[in-house]
């Protein structure tokens, strides 16, 4: 089965599942697609006891796709640029300090809280796993996923200032979370060569600051090119080239491509650039193009997440650890947000119940699974992959389905 056939099958399944969701379930796409795909996969499992043709075909498709590379190296740049392009820049500017603290200090605090808690939890369950590997799990599960958050919050009816905090945090803490994960991963992998604190600071600084600087430069360059012409076809292609070439540059020089794409998207999407560089026709075409691409990639992503359960090793102790990790991860997120929110709520207009809504509305998604897939066997990959998958599925389905009700009850 060649790559075109595999992509065709995935797009076909995405279209069918998307139709079923739109026609019957009427759930947010990310929730509906994942739910339908999981049910479909379970049905394939059941049929497999009689005829294993379908399950073998589905398993073959999943094994042919490097989910980690496809999401982190390709899809994520497009999805983050699209998300940033449609983010309210003025609201983001007002909330910039809490968003900055949530996406940096919040991720670091959550990483250590989750990592420490998981270490003792796994010890109680008889799973002797080194502390550094539990920290790795903390780093991959702490960032909230903008892909999941953006799709669900659009329908949740959150107040604008609260939505901006959650979306803004998700856009930035994703890139920061990947850098934190890579830093701890390097520490965990360093068996012969010692890694000094200076090496860690250098890695973190180059990835984060370099990624943001690259993104700002790409955004400015895109703005100058778009301002000098009035041709909506070419201007759409320019934005596409910005993402593709920018991602290649970031990967070449070991900068954070996610943060670069967020910065570039915010620059290109802000009102000043829109008003001075885009005609109304261009603005419409750019927005529609990126909305369509965002929907297509999101659809494929959540179908892939649902199908990933075929590669998991569902040992009883892993499942128990995953179920216990759900409240633990939520509690750690709540604690990591508590101090920054208390500090900023007196200075900025924070709506009632911000901590609770940001805790429950901070969904985990494909990025966490992709990072878990990047663990080596020696890092207890199978265990952490199952734990991560359980937390992510609960987050998208359980939290995603109830966040609207929570907002209406707590905020309004």
pLDDT digits (tens, 9 = 90+) for 362-392: 899 889 999 999 999 999 999 999 999 999 9
State the pLDDT confidence band at 188, using cuts at 50, 70 and 90.
confident
Nearest to 285 by CA among 372, 360, 226, 334: 226
**For 147-165, how does the pLDDT look when each residue is reduced to its tens digit (9 = 90+)?**
677 667 766 667 777 888 8
Residue 250, pLDDT > 60, answer: yes
Nearest to 296 by CA among 151, 132, 121: 151
Residue 253 tokens, joined: 């020089």
Q: What is the mean pLDDT of residues 105-127?
A: 96
- Predicted model pTM: 0.91
Compute CA distances 162 → 91, 167, 329, 408, whole Å: 10, 9, 21, 13
**For 345-355, how does the pLDDT look when each residue is reduced to its tens digit (9 = 90+)?**
777 778 888 89
Q: What are phi and psi of 20, to 5 degrees?
A: -60, -40
- b/e for 372-384, b at 16 or more Cβ within 10 A? bbbbeeebbbbbb
Residue with tokens 């599925």, as numbered in its chain: 393
**Distance between CA 300 and CA 137 in Å, rounded?**
25
State the pLDDT confidence band at 193, using cuts at 50, 70 and 90.
low
Higher pLDDT, 276 or 145: 276
Nearest to 309 by CA among 373, 402, 399: 373
Higher pLDDT, 364 or 90: 364
Higher pLDDT, 206 or 225: 225
- Do residues 165 and 358 make contact, with C-beta atoms less than 8 angstroms apart? yes
Residue 82 tokens, joined: 């699209």
What's the pLDDT at 212?
94
**Distance between CA 235 and CA 401 in Å, rounded?**
38
Instruction: List, in order, residues 6 or more apart from 138 with CB less than 8 Å away.
Output: 110, 111, 112, 113, 114, 115, 116, 118, 332
SS3 at position 190: coil
**Distance between CA 218 and CA 212 in Å, rounded?**
10
Nearest to 222 by CA among 178, 140, 278: 278
SS3 at position 64: helix
**Distance between CA 212 and CA 270 in Å, rounded?**
16
Residue 95 carries which DSSP code? T
Nearest to 362 by CA among 169, 197, 225: 169
Domains and CATH numbers, the chain: 3-63 (no CATH), 67-410 (1.20.1530.20)
Residue 192, pLDDT > 60, answer: no
State the pLDDT confidence band at 59, using cuts at 50, 70 and 90.
confident
């Amino acid at each position: 089965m060649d790559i075109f056939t595999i992509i065709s099958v995935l797009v076909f399944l995405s279209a069918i599942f998307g139709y079923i969701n739109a026609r019957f379930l009427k759930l947010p796409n990310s929730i509906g697609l994942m739910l339908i795909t999981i049910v479909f996969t379970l049905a394939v499992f059941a049929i497999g006891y009689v005829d294993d043709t379908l399950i073998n075909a589905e398993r073959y498709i999943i094994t042919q796709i490097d989910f980690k590379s496809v999401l982190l190296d390709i899809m994520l740049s497009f999805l983050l640029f699209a998300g940033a392009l449609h983010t309210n820049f003025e609201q983001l500017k007002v909330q910039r300090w809490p968003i900055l603290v949530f996406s940096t200090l919040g991720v670091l605090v959550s990483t250590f809280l989750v990592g420490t808690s998981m270490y003792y939890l796994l010890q109680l369950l008889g799973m002797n796993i080194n502390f550094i590997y539990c920290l790795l799990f903390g780093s991959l599960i702490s960032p909230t996923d903008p892909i999941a958050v953006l799709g669900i919050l659009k329908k949740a009816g959150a107040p604008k200032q609260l939505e901006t905090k959650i979306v803004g945090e998700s856009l930035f803490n994703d890139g920061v979370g990947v850098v934190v994960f890579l830093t701890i991963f390097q520490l965990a992998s360093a068996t012969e060569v010692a890694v000094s604190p200076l090496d860690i600071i250098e890695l973190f600084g180059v990835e984060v600051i370099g990624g943001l600087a690259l993104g700002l430069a790409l955004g400015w360059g895109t703005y100058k090119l778009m301002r000098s012409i009035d041709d909506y076809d070419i201007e759409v292609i320019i934005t596409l080239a910005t993402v593709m070439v920018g991602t290649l540059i970031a990967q070449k020089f070991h900068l954070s491509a996610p943060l670069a794409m967020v910065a570039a998207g915010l620059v290109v999407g802000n009102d000043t650039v829109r008003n001075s560089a885009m005609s109304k026709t261009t603005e419409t075409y750019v927005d529609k193009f990126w909305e369509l691409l965002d929907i297509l990639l999101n659809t494929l992503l959540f179908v892939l997440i649902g199908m990933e359960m075929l590669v998991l090793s569902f040992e009883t102790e892993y499942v128990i650890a995953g179920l216990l990790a759900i409240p633990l991860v939520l509690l750690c997120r709540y604690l990591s947000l508590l101090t920054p929110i208390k500090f900023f709520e007196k200075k900025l207009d924070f709506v009632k119940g911000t901590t609770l809504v940001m805790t429950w509305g901070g969904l985990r998604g494909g990025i966490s699974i992709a990072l878990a897939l990047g663990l080596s066997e020696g890092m207890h990959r199978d265990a952490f992959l199952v734990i991560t998958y359980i937390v992510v599925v609960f987050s998208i389905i359980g939290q995603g389905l109830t966040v609207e009700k929570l907002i209406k009850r707590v905020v309004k």
